[in-house]
Amino acid sequence: MADTAQGTTTEEVEYSEDQIAVHWREEEYVEPPEQFQEQANAGDKSILERFAPENFPDCFVEYAELLSWDKKWDEIVDTSNPPFFKWWVGGKLNACVNCVDRHLESRGDENAIVWVPELEEDETEEITYKELHRRVNEFAALLKDFCGVEAQDRVTFHMPMVPDLPVAMLACARLGVIHSQVFGGFSGGACGQRMADAKSTILVTMDAYYRNGELIDHKVKADEAVEAAKKEGIEVEKILVFRRKPGEYHSESEMVDGRDYFVDELLEDYEGKEVEPESMAAEDTLFLMYTSGTTGRPKGAQHSIGGYLSYVTGTSKYYQDIHPEDTYWCFADIGWITGHSYIVYGPLALGTTTVMYEGVPTYPDAGRPWRIAEKLGVDIFHTAPTTIRMLRKVGPEEPGKYDYHFKTMTTVGEPIEPDVWRWYWKVVGKGEAAITDTWWMTETGGFTGSTLPFLQPMKPGSCGPAALGIQLVIFDENGEEVSKGSGKAGYICIRNPWPGRMLTVWGQDERFIDTYYKRFNKDSNSKEWRDWPFMCGDGAVQAEDGYFRILGRIDDVINVAGHRLGTKELESAAIEVEEVAEAAAVPVVDETRGKVVEMYIALKPEVSESDEDVAKKVAAQIEKDIGKIARPKNVWVVPDMPKTRSGKIMRRVIAGISNFADVGDISTLANPDVVDKIREQVQNAKKERGEDLQELSKKEQEEIATFGEGSE
Ligand code: 6R9
């Protein structure tokens, strides 16, 4: 039982069909450390006043003023054509200048990027702002001259975590070209599909990269991408191949004459070249970031230059408390929105040192992240619950062995279970660092719910209040506002426009409206922004104190005999069992009750108890925390879960397995090979138990196939 529990909520409550049940108890506050309060960027309460709703939209000027503009804006936000709001109208700027050039004078010899290769014996690479400027200019010259790209053309990257990736992104930004980075772990097919959607004919990739100590072939995926794009009518014209090891080539894939080029060879012609930055309109596009669903084409979230950059810079400053002299490490992949906003654009716009790590957290052992932190003097650490769970699983005592000190630690990507939060706080942060649980999504550009690190107390499992200038509201199924402290959950929405929001879904304005606005917009002809709340897609509950607890994606809710259970609550209960490292809940179709819960769990290493005994404990804990109704039909102990690039469990895949249904597209899994393993294990066991499934109706098939499809 949690040490700060304020009583339990085990009694059964009746819920109406449309309401998500909330069984989670509120945790107690944890006060942030005092020693950093003086230096904090958000140090005094006046900031809350400045960003209060009555100061909308002027409050965001504070963020825009953090940037250097070629021309100041004429209008803060144009809301005349909802929901296509435009920020900093009339303003002109260049994102690369803001992230590189403007720091040359004051921080030219300081490190902009510190890159840590996966092999520990390989040298760490330090790239100063001057060096970054040189590399970005040379690559921009190559793109412009050799590839002939022009402002607002699209260039696709399928790159691993190497510094060439931010260099290439910033080179595009310098030219006003739109980049579209596809997560390196995705398949070639997924990359080609995204190229076709963006109508992009240039691919930037790498021959190979390190993963778990092995140099793995990546260029082979480029050939698959070419094929996939071709099927959708796009001919890939040029493939620019970076080489992981200078002068060597580590791929089975042949270089195709007249299409494939080694970047290092091409760059010889551009040595020392400088390229004038394009002065771009604030509402021009900086990049596309694709988010996938199981059905339909992937959606290209189209982010603006001025709005996006101002928002990520402001939130990096106040929520991560980044100062230029900090050493900041966001342990995420740049192929995820977190990497774009909080490895590259936000930190570099603030002129700090941003650390990039090539490999997996546990290579060669679970002490690696803490050794990196110690060696580089990292003082701000940003990562995801999945990484925290993994590090806790394999090395619960490791952080204590290393001499590093964090002032802030951030978590992002999923609700963090209070139990995991406490390990992060006590063991990783050594009780010295403030935690900010930052809730947001690809579409929002930057943080939308969080505490300010040294101003607002933390509450494990809650992200905190709405972020500065963001007006959050929860609606029920009928569009009625759910009041705070009511204990009722609903659909969390953002009431007002904010600068970080995506402009639209690339090439699909209607889909943009349908996905994010249709549900809670009461009058599609209204020209008033207040009539256009943005639906985030998450279920949430707001406590009396205004803090939000995110219950997971709305389409992850499991309906058992009319009780709508949030997956995250079930998983959080399972993880309270000592032996459990990770848990996932999915629905299975059941003859009598419609749907029932099935749990998947992964155990910590060296668990001596049998799988059956742990499974029993999990079932009992869920019954205790949530109620009999949620008692899982089966608890499967599996080696690992299928995960996305950001480490979110792809529940629709395991839901497919549990229901003997199609698992759908798995090209965007970070670890596709676990699918067959789990399928064999679970389906064989089910057949033995006589649980192989009855026919699924069309509606049931659809429900299983799209279960949790909104998660990325
Ligand atoms: C940044 C990112 C978005 C979804 C989002 C929500 C979940 C992200 C969270 C969180 C609870 C947090 N999510 N951060 N849930 N607490 N701190 O993750 O973007 O990959 O688009 O995913 O992630 O469900 O809707 P993206």
Q: pLDDT digits over 42-88, tens only? A: 999 999 999 999 999 999 999 999 999 999 999 999 999 999 999 99
Distance CA 287, CA 280 (A): 13
Q: Please give the single-letter amino acid code of residue 493.
A: C
Residue 319: exposed, middle, or buried by beta-carbon count in 10 A (0-12, 13-18, 19+)? buried
Compute the average pLDDT of residues 598-615. Answer: 93
pLDDT digits (tens, 9 = 90+) for 107-154: 999 999 999 999 999 999 999 999 999 999 999 999 999 999 999 999
Quote the ligand 1 centre to 238 CA distance (angstroms): 35
Distance CA 289, CA 302 (A): 7
The pLDDT, as a whole number, for residue 712 is: 53
Q: Burial code of 556-569, b = ≥16 C-beta within 10 A, e = fewer?
A: bbbbbeebbbbbbb
Check residues 202 and 667 and name the one with the higher pLDDT: 202
Q: Is a pLDDT exceeding 90 seen at residue 521? A: yes
Task: Name 689's bridge partners.
Answer: none
Local structure of residue 272 (DSSP, 8 states): T
Q: Please give the single-letter amino acid code of residue 697.
A: S
Least confident of 51-60, 166-175, 319-328, 634-643: 634-643
Helix (H), strand (E) at residue 138: helix 129-145
**Considering only CA atoms, which of 553, 412, 441 is closest in space to residue 500?**
441
Tokens of 514: 């349908």
Taking the alpha carbons of 696, 700, 705, 707 in that order, is the dihedral positive or negative? negative
- Prediction pTM value: 0.92
Closest Cα to atom 23, ligand 1: which residue? Answer: 413
Beta strands in 384-519, from DSSP E residues, in sequence order? 408-412, 434-438, 472-475, 489-494, 504-505
Compute the average pLDDT of residues 656-670. Answer: 88
Distance CA 432, CA 504 (A): 41
Q: Is a pLDDT exceeding 60 seen at residue 2? A: no
- Count Cα atoms within 13 angstroms, Cβ side, for 685: 14
Among 299, 338, 382, 412, which residue has the most ligand 1 atoms within 8 Å of its CB, making it the best to mutate?
412
Compute the average pLDDT of residues 184-190. Answer: 90
Distance CA 193, CA 195 (A): 5
Helix spans in 23-128 (H): 46-50, 61-64, 95-99, 104-107
Average pLDDT over the chain, rounded to whole? 93
In terms of DSSP bridges, do strands 504-505 and 534-542 run parallel, antiparallel, or are they unpaired? Answer: unpaired
For 77, 137, 336, 489, the CA distances from 159, given in Å and listed in that order, are: 35, 19, 12, 40
Ligand 1 site residues (CB inside 6 A) read 291, 336-338, 412-415, 437-442, 463, 536-538, 550, 552-553, 646, 712
**Per the omega criterion (within 30 degrees of 0), is the bond before 57 cis?**
yes
pLDDT digits (tens, 9 = 90+) for 96-109: 999 999 999 999 99
Residue 281 φ/ψ region, left for φ over 0, alpha for ψ in the -120 to 50 degree band, beta for the rest: beta
Q: Is a pLDDT exceeding 80 seen at residue 529? A: yes
| Backbone dihedral angles phi then psi of residue 364, each to the nearest 5 degrees | -80, -5
Closest Cα to atom 19, ligand 1: which residue? Answer: 441
Distance CA 404, CA 373 (A): 6
The pLDDT, as a whole number, for residue 674 is: 92
The pLDDT, as a whole number, for residue 709 is: 62
Helix (H), strand (E) at residue 571: helix 567-575
Compute the average pLDDT of residues 364-372. Answer: 97
The percent of residues in the chain predicted with pLDDT above 70, rounded, is 95
The percent of residues in the chain predicted with pLDDT above 90, rounded, is 81
Most confident of 290-294, 547-551, 589-593: 547-551
Helix axes 164-175, 129-145, angle to 10 degrees: 60
The pLDDT, as a whole number, for residue 13 is: 42
CA 536 to ligand 1: nearest atom: 25
Tokens of 528: 């008033």
Among 333, 409, 414, which residue has the most ligand 1 atoms within 8 Å of its CB, making it the best to mutate?
414
Helix (H), strand (E) at residue 563: strand 563-565
